[in-house]
Structure 1
Amino acid sequence: MTLHPKAEATCRNPPADYSDLKALFLSTTLKKDPEPSHTADLMGVSKAIMDSNSISTELLRLTDYQIAFGVYPDMTEHGWARDDWPDIQRKVMEADILVIGTPIWLGEESSVCRLAIERLYGYSGNLNDHGQSDYYGRVGGCIVTGNEDGVKHCAMTVLYALQHLGYVIPPQADAGWIGEAGPGPSYGDDGAGYDNDFTQRNTTFMTWNLIHMARVLKDAGGIPVHGNQRSEWAAGCRFDHPNPDYR
């Protein structure tokens, strides 16, 4: 398709510089590297858009790590001999954008995805210098693939978890692809999904909405601190709550 010159200029001239942003993609496929992953394949589309705009990106396949079960920051302090999650968590905290990708199994996100969410939750008690959740000021999104129904359900679960932890979820922060109902090709099998306009559009819109929101938050210095500081609440400040004597 040939674009009108004005439209072409709009597409190729983004409104800001994004070279100071970092994005982390966590693929929760059940497959270990180097086995091809449909989920990582679609995540790569979003990553490529960010790469082309000078955002520092990294994609981790969590099955390549030994991640302990639990909801504490470091499970070696709770009986586990090895736990690779603390190193992953450091990458999470360095990133302005976090994208979780999951396949669909029996209509739900993968077991690895649930493990990742639980481990992210284990860090949610940490506070930033303003007394807010340390996840505040970051942006979250979700990519889902499969050959059965459940894209929106899985995205709903993942995005709810991220916002509950403190991530900002911009408009249309999810994208996915599913094939025909029942056994069949998944995204990338013999090119399946590559020419699907709905998936192309949603993946692109999701990526740019994450980029825009991350830029806004970075420039604003994060979420304003009034009314959401756990440290101040613990000290007795009630931020206009109608019952100041509540204990």
Structure 2
Amino acid sequence: MTTADDRAYPGNGVDGPAPRFEGLRALFINATLKRSPEPSNTDGLVRISARIMREHGVQVEEIRAADHEIATGVWPDMTEHGWDTDAWPPIYRQVAAADILVLAGPIWLGDNSSVMKRVIERLYSCSGLLNEHGQYAYYGRVGGCLITGNEDGVKHCAMNVLYSLQHLGFTIPPQADAGWIGPAGPGPSYLDPGSGGPENDFTTRNTTFMTYNLLHLASMLRDAGGVPAYGNRRSEWDAGCAPDQDNPEHR
């Protein structure tokens, strides 16, 4: 009987050398409230995941959203809607060039930061754009998230981020989130001396599993040419050619 471990998926690294993922590109957006160069605890988890990716040949970029003047709104370029400046269009070009997007951020009042919410809103602003197959723009890309804090809310924040990403068209692999949380109430943050965060086996394990799952799924989607386009093409639907519906004008 053939088991999953016996099957010859070339990227599983079970019976051979560690897989390589050259050609894949990953983007981490850190939604900390802190501007550079102020230390960000969320960067501590980002570094673990980004290091693994780089060691396997992935081109990795990191953005701290608070360093950029991202306008509020739900249009691709808010300078066309009354804002003097908007840093989102060049950031979106980095998103569009990436096979993997990881949103990372802190917990405030049990929820995602205001910066995280703005990033997701601006991702939404571009979700109506189409790819070369006529699908929504984020099809064929995978998403994950990293959450840090010293108060409850890791799973709540992760659910919000991952739901948002899949709703916009990203594909979410198994165990696509990881987080660290200190003692409830005021206390040490992830990178504070003596916090135990960097040494926490549960957090490091989940971050590692998330990273490899993102890499494997992104590689599989790339090799398959993305998500199959039958039945999910917005361009076809708008033209009156909805699948499985008779329309003599578009046969």
> Does the pair score TM above 0.5?
yes
Q: Kindly report which structure 2 residues correspond to 1:185-200, keeping only aligned pairs within 5 A, or say none.
A: 185-192=188-195, 193-200=197-204
5+ residue gaps, structure 2, are 1-12
Q: Deviations over 1:113-153 (max 9, x none)?
A: 00000000000110011110011000000000000000000
Structure 1 residue aligned with 2:209: 205
Q: Kindly report which structure 2 residues correspond to 1:56-205, keeping only aligned pairs within 5 A, or say none.
A: 56-192=59-195, 193-205=197-209
**How far is the alpha carbon of 1:237 from its aligned partner?**
2.4
Q: Secondary structure at the match of 2:62?
A: strand
**How far is the alpha carbon of 1:90 from its aligned partner?**
0.4
Structure 2 residue aligned with 1:222: 226
Give aligned pairs, total.
235
**How far is the alpha carbon of 1:159 from its aligned partner?**
0.5
**How far is the alpha carbon of 1:234 from its aligned partner?**
1.5
Q: For residues 14 and 233 of structure 2, what CA distance do their matches in structure 1 show? A: 40
Q: Deviations over 1:54-80 (max 9, x none)?
A: 100011101111110000011111111
Structure 2 residue aligned with 1:239: 243
Task: Sort the Cα spacing of 1:22 and 1:191 in 2 relative to 1 into closer, same or farther, 3 A.
Answer: farther
Of residues 19, 29, 32, the one that matches 2:32 is 29
Task: Sort the Cα spacing of 1:33 and 1:227 in 2 relative to 1 into closer, same or farther, 3 A.
Answer: same
**How far is the alpha carbon of 1:238 from its aligned partner?**
2.8
Q: For residues 170 and 198 of structure 1, what CA distance do their matches in structure 2 show? A: 19
Give RMSD over aligned pairs: 1.7
**How far is the alpha carbon of 1:82 from its aligned partner?**
0.7
Task: Sort the Cα spacing of 1:12 and 1:46 in 2 relative to 1 into closer, same or farther, 3 A.
Answer: farther
Q: Secondary structure at the match of 1:145?
A: strand
**How far is the alpha carbon of 1:12 from its aligned partner?**
8.7
Q: For residues 23 and 114 of structure 1, what CA distance do their matches in structure 2 show? A: 20
Percent identity among equivalent residues?
61
Structure 1 residue aligned with 2:6: none
**How far is the alpha carbon of 1:240 from its aligned partner?**
2.9
TM-score between the two structures when normalised by the length of structure 1: 0.91
